[in-house]
A = this chain, B = another copy of it.
Amino acid sequence: MTTVRPPSDPESDPRVKAVFDDIRTTRRTDFVNNLWRSLAFDPPLLERTWNDVKALMATPTALDPLVKEMLYVAVSIANGCSYCVHSHTAAARAKGMTDAQHAELLAIVSLAGRTNLLATGLQVPVDAAFDAAASG
């Protein structure tokens, strides 16, 4: 089930085709996953979204590619996005994440979830030492 009807022949729109081609080239695969197929209902939204994802996730930056993907998984779990947990866990595995690293990722995410709720439940006042604006 979905809330938009993905176009039956999305690549008949040249803007969609250009994005799909770029996805295939950038990722070196023929596979275009459903997020992009759904977004094809609105080519400008598809373009902007892909450009942002490509610039950060498919381009060398300060952080290691696997670390970036694991951060993406962590946020997707915390936000409860089932699709994104699936797609980015698969991407992390494709980038070399081992079972041990996956288990540790889940352990950290769930530990953070636990202490986040403790701090919120206690309404712990922020220590002055943590204020970046005050540090010399």
Say whether A61 faces chain B, with CB atoms less than 8 Å apart: yes
Say whether A18 faces chain B, with CB atoms less than 8 Å apart: no
Interface residues of A in 88-125 (CB under 8 A from B): 88-90, 93, 98-125
B39 touches A130 (CB 8 A): no
A112 touches B71 (CB 8 A): yes
A-side residues, CB < 8 A to B, are 1-6, 31, 33-35, 38-39, 41-42, 44-45, 48-49, 52-53, 56-57, 61-63, 67-68, 70-90, 93, 98-135
A86 touches B3 (CB 8 A): yes
Can you list 24 pairs linking A and B with CB atoms under 8 Å apart? A1-B86, A1-B133, A34-B127, A42-B100, A42-B106, A45-B107, A52-B114, A56-B108, A57-B108, A63-B104, A63-B105, A67-B67, A72-B108, A72-B112, A73-B121, A74-B75, A74-B78, A75-B117, A77-B120, A78-B117, A83-B125, A89-B130, A110-B114, A113-B117
Chain B, Cβ-Cβ closest to A93: B132
Number of copies of this protein chain within its complex: 6
B45 touches A103 (CB 8 A): yes
Min CB–CB distance A83 → chain B (angstroms): 4
Q: What's the Cα separation between A84 and B35 when bound, in Å?
A: 20
Contact (A112, B84) CB under 8 Å given A74-B71, A122-B106? yes
